[in-house]
Structures are given as C-alpha cells and as structure tokens.
Amino acid sequence: MSRFRIGFVPLVDAVLPIVAHALGLAAREGVSIELVRDPSWATVRDRLIYGQTDAAHLLAPLAIATAMGLDRPAVPLGAPFMLGLNGNTVTVSARVAALLGGEGGDVAATGRALAALARSEVAVGRRLRFAVVHRYSSHNYMLRYWLAASGCDPDRDVEIIVVPPPFVAEAFALGEIDGSCVGEPWNSVAVERGDAVIVAATSQIWNRGVEKLLAFRQGVLDERSEDVAALLRALHEAGRIVADPGRHEEIAALLAAPEYIGQPSDLILRALSGKLVLRHDAEITPIEDFLVLHREAANFPWRSQAMWLYSQMVRWGHAPLGEGGFEAAAAVFRPDIYRAALAGTDAILPSASAKVEGAIARSLGAGSVTGRLILGPDRFFDGVLFDPDRALDYVAAQAR
C-alpha cells in the first residue's frame, strides 16, 4: 500500500489526517498514513522540504513563503486541500482581560478597547506583548488586521513575538505574554488554568478565514498523482464524519491520545463543537462557525485566499510586492488537483477558482460543477472586500 508520511503540529485542526488514518478511511482508499508529530512549524516544514515526510499539516502563509523562497531557497510546494477554516482565538492574560472589562461581546468594540489599552500602555512606556505561532501564520495576519482596523499599529503599539502553540499556555502562566493568537486546544488549556481569557475568535474577525492546508512537494504531486487523489478522497470522507455533531465526543477522545494532541478530550471538544468556555468556570459560549472543517466546500483551495495572505505579507513587510507575486502565491493553491481527485464523489466542486473574499453577508448559492454549493457569510469584521482582480488597489489602500 502506498504510504504517506504526514507531519503535523498537535492542534485540533490536524483532525482530518488523524481521522483518515485512525478510522481506516485512508486504507479503504488504498493508501496508508503515518503521522509525524512535531512541536514547531520550522521542524514540520523542514521534514517536508527535505523529504522526511511526503505531506504536512501546514500554516497556509508558511507554505506560500516556502514556495516563494522568502527567507530561504525556494522549494516548490502545492496545496490541493485545505484542512479547515479558522479555529483560532485571540486570548489575553487575566490582567489585560480585567482592564478590558468583559469579553465575548461585539468583536469591533472589543478590538477598539484593546487598541485603546495598547496605546495607553505605550503612553506610559510599555507595550502589550502578543504571541503568534509563526511569522508566516494566519494568526499573525488576523491579529494584525484586527488591531490595525481597530486603531493601533501592530508594529509600533504592541510587540508581537513567536511562541510555538504547545508553549503558549505556559507563557501565559509565566507572565511572559499579555495576549496571543493561537489554535485550539492551547487557548482552552490556558483558560482552564485560569491564566487567560478568550476575547475573540478569528471567525469573528473574518467569517471564513483561511487557515491550515495540506502541503506537498511539487514532485510528490507530479509523481504520485493517483495516490494523492486517493489520500484527498480519504480526507474528504474524514471531513464528513467530523462534521457530524453526533461523533464529536468520539473524535475528541481520539485526538486526546498522547500521540496526537495529548490534552484532555473535553478541552478538544470545545473547538470541534464550537462551544467555547471563554473564562475559567464560565458558562459555555457557542461561537458560530468557529472551525469549519468540511461544509461549504471548506477544503477547496481558493486562489483568492492565497492572494489575500500574500497581500498581508506585503502589508507588514514580510514579502516584497514583486512582479507576479500575487500569481506566485496563488499558484501554491491547487484547485485543479482538488477537482480531479474528488470528481465522482459527493464533494461539491466549485467551478470558479477564485472569489471576492468578504462579499457574502448571508448564505448564498454559488456555481459549481456538481451539487449545490451554498457559501456561508465570509465577511471581514470591518466590511472591507478583497477582490482578487483588484489586489493591487487593496494593497495600496492598506498602505495608507
């Protein structure tokens, strides 16, 4: 049986490859999965680009940065399958939460309060310190987007540092950080210890925020296309199972195993079910579309998602605005492979490869090759649209 070694970081959104493996879905498609767990993204990336793994659960912007050679020699990567939308929260220390007063309210109001607090700290010579999981992470770009739109400069008014996900709760406990943007269950772990409070979900900043993807070296996509297609079908099937609320407890218990996430299943269940506990001992707060793993063709790699990420990399000086930059970023996302692999299954195959991001306020039907595609609300909290055909205008507007 053709084997895929897949690297991952212990996070709830690694669930699809884990379920595809543990529930025998990959085997049913004639491929096998071996999962390789690492605490840091640099290790997951290096194992992928130097051939220790065949595929990796990877931050979408990190895949783009690697393929574009932003801080090392470029390695061609392709991502034919998204592993989920959103699933992260902005979490602050108990001290900052007390200063903000109240959580879980309107995300724009919370953003303004946080920005005001950050500026008042600057006025007395301090800066709030936020942890994100990697320079090239959606966490970094979502946090920056929110802060910037709320009236503070993420480069000048706060300090943004990198802390790998499994160490974020510890960083809160040691008082090393005032806030973070990280994936689950690591926010819930910090909340459970009483050290931190969740003040926003990234799904409230961008309803359908692009998050992790399954990245392959280009050579693997070319040479093992049949096997890759089989693997994608298994992941699609895993998505169908994970989307069933009746199976959330079972899946949470699976993920809790030490070889996967190694945290209590009731904490993992929160992200899977979208029922978060924002503060230690508080009631459950349901958050709509907290982590979308399957429905609305959530696994389809829209080229416009990659382009939005590149616009943010340019915005914050992480990537040069070069000729063909948007095209190069978009080329990492491979909707063609997704369509070819899932043709003939029950998967909905969008006929377009890019869309205006942030344009849907209420659920909307969209064109698809098969089935009826309903796209849910995908707005940015400030109502600004990202039109991939006018990407340069978007970059220019944000540079002001």
Task: Report the C-alpha gap between 150 and 229 in whole angstroms.
Answer: 43
* 135: contact with other proteins by CB under 8 A: yes
Binders in 73-112 for other proteins, by CB under 8 A: 73
Which tokens go with 65? 């940065």
Binders in 247-286 for other proteins, by CB under 8 A: none
- CA 152 vs. chain centroid, Å, equals 23
Nearer to other proteins, 72 or 126 (CB): 72
* 50: contact with other proteins by CB under 8 A: yes
Q: CB within 8 A of 212, min separation 6: which ones? A: 11, 13, 14, 57, 58, 59, 60, 82, 83, 84
What is the DSSP track for 146-191?
Answer: HHHHHT--TTTTEEEEE--GGGHHHHHHTT--SEEEEETTHHHHHH
Nearer to other proteins, 122 or 162 (CB): 162
Q: In the complex, what is the shortest distance from the CB of residue 311 to other proteins, in angstroms, rounded to a whole number?
A: 19
Nearer to other proteins, 65 or 232 (CB): 65
* 218: contact with other proteins by CB under 8 A: no
Which residue among 97, 133, 142, 231 contacts other proteins (CB under 8 A)? 133
* 163: contact with other proteins by CB under 8 A: yes
Which residue among 47, 208, 294, 355 contacts other proteins (CB under 8 A)? 47
Stretch that binds other proteins, among 157-165, 191-199, 305-313, 373-381 (CB under 8 A): 157-165
Return the number of other C-beta atoms located less than 10 Å from residue 15's C-beta: 29
Stretch that binds other proteins, among 50-58, 178-186, 256-264, 305-313 (CB under 8 A): 50-58
CA 360-365-371 angle, to 5 degrees, is 140
In the block, tokens 């309107």 appear at 106
What one-letter code names the amino acid at 16? L
Task: Report the C-alpha gap between 180 and 93 in whole angstroms.
Answer: 9
Which residue among 3, 28, 51, 194 contacts other proteins (CB under 8 A)? 51
DSSP E strands: which ranges in the chain?
A: 2-8, 31-37, 55-59, 77-82, 85-86, 88-93, 128-132, 158-162, 179-183, 196-201, 212-217, 275-277, 284-286, 291-292, 364-366, 373-375
Contact 17, 8 (CB under 8 A): yes
Which residue among 7, 61, 164, 179 contacts other proteins (CB under 8 A)? 164
Stretch that binds other proteins, among 35-43, 89-97, 116-124, 198-206 (CB under 8 A): 35-43
* 395: contact with other proteins by CB under 8 A: no
Which residue among 5, 30, 32, 52 contacts other proteins (CB under 8 A)? 52
Which residue among 134, 139, 279, 303 contacts other proteins (CB under 8 A)? 134
Beta bridge partners of 37: 8
Which residue among 167, 243, 382, 387 contacts other proteins (CB under 8 A)? 167
Q: In the complex, what is the shortest distance from the CB of residue 308 to other proteins, in angstroms, rounded to a whole number?
A: 21
* 161: contact with other proteins by CB under 8 A: yes
In the block, tokens 């034919």 appear at 80
Considering only CA atoms, which of 217, 231, 237, 275 is closest in space to residue 12? 275
Q: In the complex, what is the shortest distance from the CB of residue 119 to other proteins, in angstroms, rounded to a whole number?
A: 23
Q: In the complex, what is the shortest distance from the CB of residue 349 to other proteins, in angstroms, rounded to a whole number?
A: 35
Which tokens go with 121? 């700290």
Q: In the complex, what is the shortest distance from the CB of residue 49 to other proteins, in angstroms, rounded to a whole number?
A: 9
- Residues in contact with other proteins, total (CB under 8 A)? 24
The separation between the first and the last C-alpha atoms of the chain, rounded to the nearest angstrom, is 55
Which tokens go with 317? 């000086």
Contact 250, 47 (CB under 8 A): no
Stretch that binds other proteins, among 68-76, 106-114, 255-263, 389-397 (CB under 8 A): 68-76
* 156: contact with other proteins by CB under 8 A: no
Task: Report the C-alpha gap between 84 and 92 in whole angstroms.
Answer: 24
* 39: contact with other proteins by CB under 8 A: yes
Binders in 300-339 for other proteins, by CB under 8 A: 317
Residues at the interface with other proteins (CB under 8 A): 38-43, 46-47, 50-52, 71-73, 133-135, 161-164, 166-167, 317
